[in-house]
Amino acid sequence: MTSTLVFGGARSGKSAYAERLAIGSGKEVVYIATARDGDGEMASRIRQHRRQRPAEWLTVEEPLALADAVLRHCTPGRLVLVDCLTLWLSNLMFSGAAEYPDVGDIELPPLFHDQRQQLLRALERVGGDLLLVSNEVGMGIVPYGAISRSFTDESGRLNQAVAAACDRVAFVAAGLPLMLKGAPC
């Protein structure tokens, strides 16, 4: 049983790389999608991802209770691919329907803290192979607005915690993986 974090910037090739790893595993694959189709553009992205995935993969759509889905589906002889952690994080941040200020402190909803902790605990107990895809959003300028800065900070913290818990970590840029931790994939 191996856990792997694959992360990189937008359109870096991280999802495609993770999908190649899943196909190459020769195992039954469960794809856990965290995206919500809140607008036309996102709905289009989701349709594109669905078309690209092999038809034999089981797709589970889970925007919030990710730890439960991972533990339920990550069993021996199976590989679970989660795409992606940053969309999941965003779903949690906005799960309370709060109006966030442009400046000042951000109070994230209790569900955010609870689900984040549950995921980190689940990573210690998975029963099969796990691939987690995440965005690296902190390599650019500091974003404008308190919620944007909070998202960047929380994404970085999550990536660090997940990377520490995983056996392997690959950073993808321009479609090329760079192994940061563990044996090459």
pLDDT digits (tens, 9 = 90+) for 81-120: 999 999 999 999 999 877 888 898 899 999 999 999 999 9
Do 3 and 166 contact (CB within 8 A), yes or no? Answer: yes
pLDDT tens sequence across 3-51 = 999 999 999 999 999 999 999 999 999 999 998 887 778 778 878 878 8
The CATH topology of domain 3-181 is Rossmann fold (3.40.50)
Report the distance separating Cα 108 and Cα 96, nearest Å. Answer: 8
Task: Write a three-state SS string for 119-144.
Answer: HHHHCCCCCCEEEEEEECCCCCCCCC
pLDDT surpasses 80 at 154: yes
Residues catalogued as catalytic: 49
In 45-101, where do the E strands start and end? Answer: 58-61, 78-83
CA atoms of 127 and 75, how far apart (whole Å): 5
Among candidate residues 62, 89, 179, 80, the one with its CA nearest the CA of residue 125: 80
